[in-house]
Amino acid sequence: MCPQFYGLKTNEFCRVTTGSLEAAGARDDDEIDAVITRTLGQQAAGGVTTVRDLGDRRYRTLGFRDAGAPGVPRIVAAGPPFTIADGHCHYLGGAAEGPHAIRSAMAEHVERGVDVIKVMASGGMLTPGSDQLGVQFSAEDLRLVVDLGHEAGLHVLAHTHSLRGAWHAVDAGVDGLEHFTCLTEEGLRTPPDLLDAVAAAGIVVDPTIGWNRAAIKTGALAPKLRELMERLGLDPDTMRVARAEQLRLALEHGVRVVSGTDAGIGGAKLHGDGVWRSVVELTDACPFEHALATATSDAAEVLGLASVTGRLRPGLAADLLVVDGDVRADHDALGRPVAVYVRGVAVPPRRAVS
């Protein structure tokens, strides 16, 4: 299974250990590097051969990308996500508001050589004080982030948990929507005109599903996220049903979907144990073959890596996940790896997690 999409707000790197996103701002470079090393290993052991890091601190992940060590997943990196003062993940160092600050921050990202831009168009579950149901940035500032990213030849991906945030990002012209939960005070709401707008613009949606629901039920969920779910009358089972219907409608409207996990935000999203769950969960909304492609060939195309990986084909990298069982009949076999190869290098597979 390759590539894995991050919702790393940091999506897997600075959210570098289980539930550690909030602590990332206080870590020094050596501590961050140690966690990146560990989580890259966990991802590889789970069959993830490519990761998209959408939220770094001090650009530490780029050093691992450039090193390209054998048996380590290749990395598509965004650097620190653009956010507002005290906004979602502000402690990662990406706060920039107003034309001067945004231009300066974008120039730094481009100079550092990032592969993609991440911007927080709404608040987030793990940042106290941010508005999960509202928006971040003025319309003018958000459009400027997008325009400058495009001028630099970079795709711009927006974190959007709220319905308002989704419209905010679509109107700004982003290339991708992370989460796309479309939360309102009344729960999930995904209007048909929004889905039509996303599809017409060619915006790619990464729903970051793939929760370990058993772990959620035993308490492995960030307190702020649990609080919001309870306020909206949602539980793990009803949330899965609601997301499946949301994604079914999105696909019906022609929206392109890729699989990602946003791993590391708690025990319900462990590194290396999420992408297979996201594929299985997506089968609630589409056939298995389509769901699997969202984590392999389709994902590679979206990353610009279709000539490198994503399929079993001569000339492409030997990125392989061998599992215990026939995945067409037993989708959960994706979570039982028996062999993993990352760019032709054998990696010890992780033990299956229930």
**What confidence tens digit (pLDDT) does each residue in 67-124 have?**
999 999 999 999 999 999 999 999 999 999 999 999 999 999 999 999 999 999 999 9
β pairing state of 320-323 and 337-342:
antiparallel
Residue 22 has pLDDT above 70, yes or no: no
Q: What is the pLDDT of residue 13?
A: 29
| Total tally of structural domains belonging to the chain | 1
E strands within the chain? 4-5, 50-53, 74-77, 117-120, 156-162, 176-184, 187-188, 204-206, 256-257, 320-323, 337-342, 345-347
288 inside domain: yes
Would you say residue 59 lies in a domain? yes
User: What is residue 352's predicted lDDT score, i.e. its pLDDT?
Assistant: 66
Residue 12 has pLDDT above 50, yes or no: no
What band does 353 get if pLDDT is binned at 50, 70 and 90? low
User: pLDDT tens digits for 247-285?
Assistant: 999 999 999 999 998 887 777 888 899 999 999 999 999
Domain containing residue 77: 4-304
Give mean pLDDT, residues 6-13.
31
With contact defined as beta carbons under 8 Å apart, do 169 and 130 qualify?
Answer: no
Predicted local confidence at residue 123, as pLDDT: 95
The domain spanning residue 136 has which CATH number?
Answer: 3.20.20.140
* Cα 195 from Cα 313, distance rounded (Å): 34
pLDDT digits (tens, 9 = 90+) for 204-229: 999 999 988 877 777 667 676 777 77
pLDDT given at position 21: 63
Please list the alpha-helical segments (H only) found in 70-172: 99-112, 139-151, 163-172
**Residue 317 lies inside a defined structural domain of this protein:** no
| Residue 332 domain-assigned (yes or no) | no
170 located within any domain: yes
Counting residues of the chain whose pLDDT is more than 90, the rounded percentage is 76
Model confidence over 148-160: pLDDT tens digits?
Answer: 999 999 999 999 9
Adjacent-strand bridge partners of 322: 339
Q: Angle 259-216-127 (CA atoms, 0-180°, nearest 5)?
A: 75
pTM equals 0.92
In a domain, 312, yes or no: no
